Each structure stands twice: as structure tokens, then as C-alpha cells.
Amino acid sequence: MPKEKPDLVYGTLDMLVLRTLQNGPRHGLAIADRIQQMSTDVLRVEQGSLYPALYRLEAQGWLKAEEGLSETNRKARFYRLTAAGRRQLEAETEHWARVTAAINLVLEKA
């Protein structure tokens, strides 16, 4: 049996980060841990992918970062969803649903 590829489909990391922050602010490591937890250990987000995505999402106005202390009393940047980020999450979720439905149709008919 071939080894499972845990790679994220291009463009899905932004949506997953936005979804992870939907219920409240988190720091980077907590975002990566939550994505891994919600995916039952299938998806693992590396720091080299996560932090550029966080900076990009912040630059687009979808996230706001604030300094704070982590649960281990270490200085950390906490990211929270903005109103624009909530709208983007909704749009990306709808787009993902359309794309995955279309892919499933092709797989079923192939």
C-alpha cells in the first residue's frame, strides 16, 4: 500500500488557518497543533509553510496579530480573524465545497 501523502492541496492552508481561528485567537504553534488535531493527525503544517501564510493573511487584512503570552509564559503573537477574514473564510469554504463535489463526481464516473 502506498504511503499516504499528507501534503495540503495548493491554497487550502489559508482556509484551514482561517477556520482554526474562527473560534478565537491562537498563536502559531497552537494553530498548527489544532489543524493536526482536527484532521486526526493526517494534516501536519510545518513552520516553514505556516508563518509565511500567517504573514500573508495578516497583510491581506484577514488576520490581526497581537503580542501576548503563551500557555508556557513565552512571548508569542496571537492571531485573530477580522471581519474581512470571516467573509474570506465563508467564500473559500463555499469554493472548496464546489471543487470537492466536482472532483467526487469525476472519481465516481471515471
Rounded to whole angstroms, how far apart are CA atoms 96 and 35? 17
Q: Does a structural domain hold residue 6? A: no
Residues 49 and 13 sit within 8 Å (Cβ to Cβ): yes
Residue 94 lies in a domain: yes
Within a 10 A sphere around the Cβ of 76, how many other Cβ atoms? 19
What is the tally of structural domains in the chain? Answer: 1
Q: Is residue 2 part of a domain?
A: no
Evaluate whether residue 40 is within a structural domain: yes
Q: Which domain holds residue 99?
A: 12-109
Q: Which residues lie closer than 8 Å to 73 by C-beta, 6 or more apart? A: none
Give the pLDDT confidence of 72-104 residue by residue, as tens digits: 899 999 999 999 999 999 999 999 999 999 999
Prediction pTM value? 0.86
CATH number at residue 74: 1.10.10.10
Tens-digit pLDDT profile for residues 25-75? 999 999 999 999 999 999 999 999 999 999 999 999 999 999 999 888 999
Beta strands 75-81 and 26-27 are: antiparallel
